Amino acid sequence: MTKKALIAVGGNSLIRAGERGTLDEQMANAKATAKSIAKMIKLGWEVVVTHGNGPQAGAALIRSERAKAEVYTHTLDMCVATTQSEIGYILQKALRYELKELGIDKQVTCVPTMVEVDENDPAYQKPAKPIGPFYTKKEAQAKERSLGWDIVEDSSRGYRRVVASPEPKKIVEFDIIKSVIDMGIVTIALGGGGVPIVRKDGEIIGSEAVIDKDRSSALLAGLLDVDLFIISTDADRAYLNFKKKNETGLDEVQVDQMQKYFEEGHFAPGSMGPKVESSIRFIRNGGKHCIITTYEHLMDALEGKAGTHLIP
């Protein structure tokens, strides 16, 4: 019986630390990520790929804002939609190339995905997800007045817009995604956590929000009943006391113990925290096995030689 895995690719897999994020850089990084995924497919895994879009969505917002005197602007949900296609195209090309290199005859496609959220989600009352460029205090206050943005000071580097990060409730294209997977096609979906939408009187309305990619990926992984949920990030595993003298890497951890570590505050909210939280959700909802690692260590992780393995 074919084993099924969902791989949530982090934004770092396309734009590495210190890079500008040029298309050439993203293409090269996508090929490196795709090489590991293609090897996994060669081992007999059926693979679904999801991905982040933080840097790309930020770039799209900057383009929209700076060109507003000449062309129409994009809302945040539209930026998520456009980056789904942009990144999907990059990953699709890379995966097709690497599969061909391994002699694997498989189609690869991208499914643009909307995710329904609750307009009454408490996250809308306390927007906390920074997006887009940094502004001076004067610029930020002008945006706040004219556009109704929520603005916060970010790490003493300036001021940034913050938006809500609501809980994903329903993957609108789930039936389509499942049908494509069942056809044996390598499927890229749920880019950037999905385009956030709400329903009003039966109508779909885009929401100015950002859905956490790992949370929505955990939801999709559970709905697909995958055998393995992989969160690909920039750390080879999760660590206790990260970057401290008593730093300890986690290998295999039962979900109750990981919950305890999470509640003790070992995982930073802006980095490893959402990944650990999402892996716990997946296991709590009936998932069998979750791995947190980098794409470089993926093959070793499949053999239990690398990564953090979360189990029931």
Angle at 273 between CA 270 and CA 274, to 5 degrees: 85
Residue 129 falls in the annotated catalytic set: yes
pLDDT at 13 over 90: no
Q: What is the pLDDT of residue 129?
A: 84
Q: Give the tens place of pLDDT for each residue, 30-49.
A: 999 999 999 999 999 999 99
pLDDT higher than threshold 90 for residue 268: no
pLDDT reading at 270 higher than 80:
no
Tell me: pLDDT of 9 over 90: yes
Antiparallel, parallel or unpaired: β 239-240 and 248-249: antiparallel
pLDDT in tens, 134-165: 888 898 888 888 878 888 887 667 888 889 99
Q: Identify the burial level of 299 via C-beta atoms within 10 angstroms of its C-beta, where 0-12 means exposed, 13-18 middle and 19 or more buried.
A: middle
Residue 213 annotated in active site: yes
Q: Which two tokens stand for residue 61?
A: 């917002």
Kindly indicate the confidence band of residue 218, based on its pLDDT and cuts at 50, 70 and 90.
Answer: very high
The pLDDT assigned to 197 comes to 97
Quick one: DSSP state of residue 92?
H
Radius of gyration over alpha carbons of the chain, in Å?
A: 19
**Catalytic annotation, pick one of 35, 213, 222, 287:** 213
138 catalytic per annotation = no
Of the pLDDT bands very low, low, confident and very high (cuts 50, 70, 90), residue 1 is low
227-251 per-position pLDDT tens digit: 999 999 888 999 998 888 888 999 9
Give pLDDT, residue 155.
Answer: 65
Average pLDDT value for residue range 250-279: 93
What's the whole-number mean pLDDT along residues 78-92? 95
Distance between CA atoms of 91 and 215, rounded to whole angstroms? 21
Catalytic residue among 10, 53, 88, 275: 275
Rounded Cα distance between 74 and 15, Å, is 23
Give the burial class of 305: count Cβ atoms within 10 A of its Cβ; 0-12 exposed, 13-18 middle, 19 or more buried: exposed
Phi-psi region of 115 (alpha: psi -120 to 50; beta: other; left: phi over 0): beta
pTM: 0.92
Residue with structure tokens 């996508």? Answer: 30
Confirm if 255 and 280 have CB atoms less than 8 A apart. yes
Is 68 known to be catalytic? Answer: no
The secondary structure of residue 166, as a DSSP letter, is: P
Higher pLDDT, residue 76 or 156: 76
- Residues whose CB falls within 8 Å of the CB of residue 147, separated by 6 or more in sequence, listed in order: none
pLDDT tens for 96-144 read: 999 999 999 999 999 999 999 999 999 999 998 888 778 888 988 888 8
Span 53-69, average pLDDT: 86
**What crossing angle do the helices spanning 213-224 and 272-284 adopt, rounded to 10°?**
20
Band (17; pLDDT cuts 50, 70, 90): confident
Q: Which residue has the higher pLDDT, 21 or 248?
A: 248
DSSP states along 172-222: TTHHHHHHHHHTT-EEEE-GGG-EEEEEETTEEEE-SB---HHHHHHHHHH
Given pLDDT bands bounded at 50, 70 and 90, which one contains residue 12? Answer: low
More confident call, 207 vs 134:
207
- The domain made up of 3-116+171-311 has a fold known as Carbamate kinase (3.40.1160)
Residue ranges per structural domain of the chain: 3-116+171-311
Residue with tokens 């897999």: 13
Q: What is the pLDDT of residue 147?
A: 79
Name which of 63-72, 203-212, 255-264 the model is least confident about. 63-72
- Which of these is catalytic: 31, 129, 191, 307? 129
